[in-house]
Structure 1
Amino acid sequence: MAHPARDAVERRRSHSKVTAEAPSHEQLLPLVAAAGGVADHGSLHPWRLIELRGADRARLGDALAEASGLEGKDAAKLAEKPLRASLLIAVVAVHQPSFKVPEWEQDATAAGVAHVLSLLLDEAGWGVIWRTGGHTRSEPVRRMHGLADNEVLLGWLYVGGIVPDKSKPGRKLIDPTRYLTAL
């Protein structure tokens, strides 16, 4: 029996280095539509994605440097990080008013969209890594993304062409008996 979903999950790995090639906006649309089918209590769709390309990546780098308080070479080094991929997809949780769906659950839905999208991008032949960090919640980074008061940034998917890396073996599967228990 074939297990395409399990095979895709087992094959997936983060690509910390990618080429400058990236999917177009039009290529992303069906993948985002599919990723939007994640579990979503109350069908709130408590998420949105922001494409960052070109100069937007440099603006993000400036915001990261500002948020860090670093100066000189250290600030410049941090500001270059968003330039590692020609496409960054910001993952934003959009908290909706709800008496039955708490914010943590809405964040989980947004994270689910990001994870499924990363799997779909991987399946489409793109290299992806989800980057986060303390600056995701900083005011300069929030301002740069134009986030509303009810929105929180969960990080960015860095997307590009896959760089062949023969030195890294595939991911080792976990021992499921350590994580799946009975009462």
Structure 2
Amino acid sequence: MTRLVDVVAARRSWSRVTADAPTHEDLLPLVAASARVADHSALRPWRLLELRGSAREKLGKAIAKAEGDDSPSSKPLRASLLIAIVVSLKKNSKVPAWEQEAVASGVAHMLSLLLYDAGWGVLWRTGSYTRSKPVRKMHKLGKNEYLLGWLYVGGIPENAKTGSRKPIDAESLIREL
């Protein structure tokens, strides 16, 4: 049985993936598990949007508009499934906006780990256009919402090089107070 620490330690970003992708039904248990991140007052200040097929093309047009380009961006076509991570702020006197964004980030990262553990290649993409009006409009975001980016999800190519990763010097990252 694989231990969680081994899965997390082996995680990497996959900039190239195959056209294979998990189905909506495949995603449901992973999203449910991702929702178990620490969430002060259980606000669930986030939501996820699946972008497949023509939705990716619409995103390419929105990115082009945001960047002032005439041709649609091909970036959203690099994976057959994109999962948009939306921060959906809730009014709450105990839980500030930064903490709600941290929850949404936690959900995105947890989902990327679960997708990796399920055998999928994942890359979290961002860009300045995530906060642009055309991209906001394309995602139908509310006034209390903004986009953290997208998880690009697909199959891991058979001939993919896993590459070497530098070891992490944990001792340099943690100190006693």
Shared fold (TM-score, shorter chain, > 0.5): yes
What is the alpha-carbon distance in structure 1 between the residues aligned to residue 63 and residue 69 of structure 2?
Answer: 9
Q: In structure 1, what is the equivalent of residue 133 of structure 2?
A: 139
The Cα of 1:3 is off from its aligned counterpart by 6.9
Q: Which digits, 9 at most, give the CA deviation of each residue in 1:106-144, with x for residues without a partner?
A: 000001000010000001100000000101000000000
90, 96, 103: which is aligned to 1:96?
90
Q: Which digits, 9 at most, give the CA deviation of each residue in 1:51-110, with x for residues without a partner?
A: 000000000000000000133xxx44xx11100000000000110001111111100000
The Cα of 1:12 is off from its aligned counterpart by 0.6
What is the alpha-carbon distance in structure 1 between the residues aligned to residue 43 and residue 108 of structure 2?
Answer: 16
Which TM-score applies when normalising by structure 2? Answer: 0.95
Amino acid in structure 1 at the alignment position of 2:56 = R
- Runs (5+) with no aligned partner, structure 2: none
* Structure 1 runs (4+) greater than 6 angstroms displaced: none
Q: Percent identity?
A: 59
Q: In structure 1, what is the equivalent of residue 145 of structure 2?
A: 151
In the TM superposition, 1:1-183 aligns within 5 A as 4-71=3-70, 75-76=71-72, 79-163=73-157, 164-166=159-161, 168-183=162-177
Higher helix share: 1
Which TM-score applies when normalising by structure 1? Answer: 0.92
The number of aligned residues is 176
- Runs (5+) with no aligned partner, structure 1: none
The Cα of 1:182 is off from its aligned counterpart by 2.1
Q: Which digits, 9 at most, give the CA deviation of each residue in 1:154-177, with x for residues without a partner?
A: 0000000001322x5242232112
Amino acid in structure 1 at the alignment position of 2:48 = L
What is the alpha-carbon distance in structure 2 between the residues aligned to residue 11 and residue 105 of structure 1?
Answer: 28
SS in structure 1 opposite 2:160? coil
SS in structure 2 opposite 1:17? coil
